[in-house]
Amino acid sequence: MNHNFKKITVLTGQYGAGKTNLAVNLAFEMCRYGKVTVTDLDIVNPYFRTSDFTEIFEKKNIKLISPVYANTNLDIPVLDFDMRFETENTDFHIVDVGGDDSGAFVLGRYNDVFSTYKDATDMLYVFNVYRSPDFSVNNIIENIKEIENASRLRCTGLVNNSNLGNETDTDVIKNTLGYADKISELSGLPVLFTCKSNTDKKISENDFPVKIMVSPPWNFT
Amino acid sequence: MNKVLMKGNEALAEAAIRAGCKCFFGYPITPQTEVAAYFAKNMAKRGGVFLQAESEIAAINMVLGASSAGVRAMTSSSSPGISLKSEGISYIAGSDLPCVIVNVQRGGPGLGGIQPSQSDYNQAVKAPGHGDFHLVVYAPASVQESVDMVFTAFDTADRYRIPTMILSDGLIGQMMEPVVFPEKTNDIPEKSWACDGHKNKRKHNIVTSLFLEPDKLEKSVLQRNEKYKLISNNCADCETYLCDDAHIVITAYGATARIARSAVNEARKQGIKAGLFRPKTLWPFPENELRNSCKNAGHILCAEMSAGQMVNDIKLYTNCSVPVSFYGRTGGVIPEPEELLREIIKLSEGRQ
């Protein structure tokens, strides 16, 4: 794929849209072009977070920044790192945010940094149309606005991460392209990637193959 | 497209709304919070009431009130929060009120931890509160089953005027799986006993668990026990997997049953005749089916995310006719399929 990555990539989106999985996959991709830092800014959900991938990041020389008490029993949102310093000292800074507006709220704290890097920041909205029980495009448009308001940032692009977990196949993703176009039309934002897992077939012009990083605990390792 | 991808907790809430739940009262606690958050976002839009109570105790008593008025009501919490609710649960049972209570279990005792656990089996099945009473307890092992059991739990609750519980755990609650919601709209039965306004057209109804005369209280307890016999005959449910010729039967429920199933499959590949008995209701316990599943078994292995709770019921219901071993992890540690396989191999080699 072409490298169009900006210095900062903020990943926001629906709760459970697959931001963390995308963050890890993006980090692996960006690695090819420079130094990558991933900041786990999810202070909403204590489970399935980028901090779970410490080992694999170390292997790939990706710097991981986590909330102080991530992966412990203490559910306290303490963030003690310097966003400006970390951004200055890396080529690509991926910021993995918690879901929905409640997760995006924390971004406001770093507004000064995002202002400095205004033209070098992408804020991607990650969606999975299968996460919405009524498949309502309007709910997604509303969700984008809520996130923009909470974060004090504007989204610059969309990521179609529509999937049905381990039941994902080519058709499962293909069936969402129409929804993605509609969301793009209503929001005025381009679909930058269509993530695809479990399939090698070409689905769209901007396919981004992703590896599913979390396997269920009943799988033999 | 009718399949969606949901977290177990979200699916519980969506299923409840579709099953006609009109009132949800709760208080946040990890790993259950998505249940309440989902109601908070959706209930008002869909003609129901969501209220974050000032405490778990307040929430369960709001359920008592709503249910008295004849509407489908629900509360949810995780382990420590269920302990707080226990007085109210007993009052609801003593008042013969239907409702659904969700427990997304986490590690205990005390404040414990936020990782998955199954250490509230005894609480759910033996003593969810003071007094002679039972809850019907459903134990989902997948997100789909979380949905299906919510519908069943509301129907059972109304049919028998009894509180029911969905005993989930932090793993089933937090994981995402594809799920389909049933199209059916539940027929909610007429509730002639409800305190919903007599408008001077009938005698007023009373919902209470207070009986000052001992013989009247005894009568109400005995009547309720007759109901429990009926429920025991009608509601016990289980899944059996490769039990017919099994020499070793694993008994497990909820998330642990998923892990046990993998271990059974691997054991079969290695030529060990293993099977899985999974109770879907923990009370009433599918005891006849358990005995039937173990008819060729030389050994039972009970696996739980606890220090050993259901294992005592397994011994009881099999009358100790088959030796029963136990394997458990606690504190929020999820057993790996390798660990269960190792136990199966040990038993098959006659080592214990």
pLDDT score recorded for residue B352:
53
Q: Does residue A77 carry a pLDDT above 80?
A: no
pLDDT score recorded for residue A199:
86
Please tell me whether residues B230 and B245 are part of one structural domain.
no
Please check whether residue B12 is in contact with residue B146, taking contact to mean a CB–CB distance below 8 angstroms.
yes
Q: Does residue A47 carry a pLDDT above 80?
A: no
Please tell me whether residues B29 and B151 are part of one structural domain.
yes
Distance from CA of B46 to the nearest CA of A (A): 13
Which residues in chain B touch residue A128, judged by CB atoms under 8 angstroms apart?
Answer: 5
- With CB atoms and an 8 Å threshold, state whether B14 touches A167: no
Rounded to 5°, the CA angle A89-A91-A93 comes to 85
Where a domain ends, among B196, B212, B235? B235
- With CB atoms and an 8 Å threshold, state whether A164 touches B5: yes
Please tell me whether residues B192 and B279 are part of one structural domain.
no
pLDDT score recorded for residue B186:
63
pLDDT score recorded for residue A78:
80
Note which residues in 33-62 of chain A have CB less than 8 A from chain B. Answer: 46-48
More confident residue, A78 or B212: B212
Amino acid at B308: G
Please tell me whether residues B175 and B324 are part of one structural domain.
no
- With CB atoms and an 8 Å threshold, state whether A220 touches B266: yes
Q: Which residue of A has its CA nearest to B4?
A: A130
Q: Is B174 on the interface with A (CB under 8 A)?
A: yes
- In a domain? residue A2: no
- In a domain? residue A95: yes
Q: How far is CA A206 from CA A29, A75, A158, A161, A209, in A?
A: 14, 38, 11, 12, 10
Please tell me whether residues B224 and B274 are part of one structural domain.
no
Q: Is B1 on the interface with A (CB under 8 A)?
A: yes
Calculate the average pLDDT of chain A.
91
Of how many residues is chain A composed?
221
Please tell me whether residues B258 and B207 are part of one structural domain.
no
Which residues in chain A touch residue B338, judged by CB atoms under 8 angstroms apart?
Answer: 220-221
- With CB atoms and an 8 Å threshold, state whether A165 touches B5: yes
Please tell me whether residues B140 and B79 are part of one structural domain.
yes
For chain B, 352 residues long, give each residue's pLDDT as a single digit of tens.
689 999 999 999 999 999 999 999 999 999 999 999 999 999 999 999 999 999 999 999 999 999 999 999 999 999 999 999 999 999 999 999 999 999 999 999 999 999 999 999 999 999 999 999 999 999 999 999 999 999 999 999 999 999 999 999 999 999 999 999 987 666 788 999 999 999 999 999 999 999 999 999 999 999 999 999 999 999 999 999 999 999 999 999 999 999 999 999 999 999 999 999 999 999 999 999 999 999 999 999 999 999 999 999 999 999 999 999 999 999 999 999 999 999 999 999 986 5
Average pLDDT over residues A52-70: 87
- In a domain? residue A139: yes
Please tell me whether residues B63 and B18 are part of one structural domain.
yes
Closest to A167 (Cβ–Cβ): which among B112, B178, B258? Answer: B178
- With CB atoms and an 8 Å threshold, state whether A167 touches B115: no
Please check whether residue B182 is in contact with residue B156, taking contact to mean a CB–CB distance below 8 angstroms.
no
Closest to A217 (Cβ–Cβ): which among B176, B177, B334? Answer: B334
**What is the distance between the terminal CA atoms of chain B, rounded to a whole angstrom?**
50
Domain encompassing residue A96 = 8-209
Please tell me whether residues B91 and B39 are part of one structural domain.
yes
Q: Is A167 on the interface with B (CB under 8 A)?
A: yes
Please tell me whether residues B69 and B209 are part of one structural domain.
yes
Where a domain ends, among B217, B235, B253? B235
Where a domain ends, among B178, B200, B235? B235
User: CA dihedral defined by B336, B338, B344, B345, rounded to 10 degrees?
Assistant: -160
ipTM of this complex prediction, to 2 decimal places = 0.90
User: How is residue B275 annotated by DSSP?
Assistant: E
**Range among A12-26, A64-78, B178-192 rated most confident:** A12-26
CATH code for the domain of B66: 3.40.50.970
Note which residues in 131-150 of chain A have CB less than 8 A from chain B. Answer: 131-133, 135
CATH code for the domain of B320: 3.40.50.920
Helix locations, chain B, DSSP H: 8-18, 33-42, 56-68, 79-94, 121-125, 143-160, 170-174, 214-235, 254-269, 287-293, 310-317, 337-348
Domain encompassing residue B317 = 240-348
Q: How far is CA B220 from CA A33, A191, B190, B223, in A?
A: 75, 64, 22, 5
Q: Is B258 on the interface with A (CB under 8 A)?
A: yes
Beta strands at B72-77 and B21-26: parallel, antiparallel or unpaired: parallel
Average pLDDT over residues A36-42: 93
pLDDT score recorded for residue B294:
97
pLDDT score recorded for residue A213:
87
Best residue of A44, A167, A218 to probe chain B, by most B CBs closer than 10 Å = A218
Q: Which residue of A has its CA nearest to B173?
A: A47
Q: Is B182 on the interface with A (CB under 8 A)?
A: no
Express each pLDDT in A84-130 by its tens digit: 999 999 999 999 999 999 999 999 999 999 999 999 999 999 999 99
CATH code for the domain of A23: 3.40.50.300
Q: Which two tokens stand for residue B311?
A: 């294992």
- In a domain? residue A100: yes
Q: Is B75 on the interface with A (CB under 8 A)?
A: no
pLDDT score recorded for residue A2:
54
pLDDT score recorded for residue A129:
95
Please check whether residue B37 is in contact with residue B78, taking contact to mean a CB–CB distance below 8 angstroms.
no
Please tell me whether residues B169 and B247 are part of one structural domain.
no
Q: Which residue of B has its CA nearest to A165?
A: B177
- With CB atoms and an 8 Å threshold, state whether A133 touches B262: no
Which residues in chain A touch residue B30, judged by CB atoms under 8 angstroms apart?
Answer: 46, 75
What CA–CA distance (Å, rounded) separates B15 from B309?
A: 29
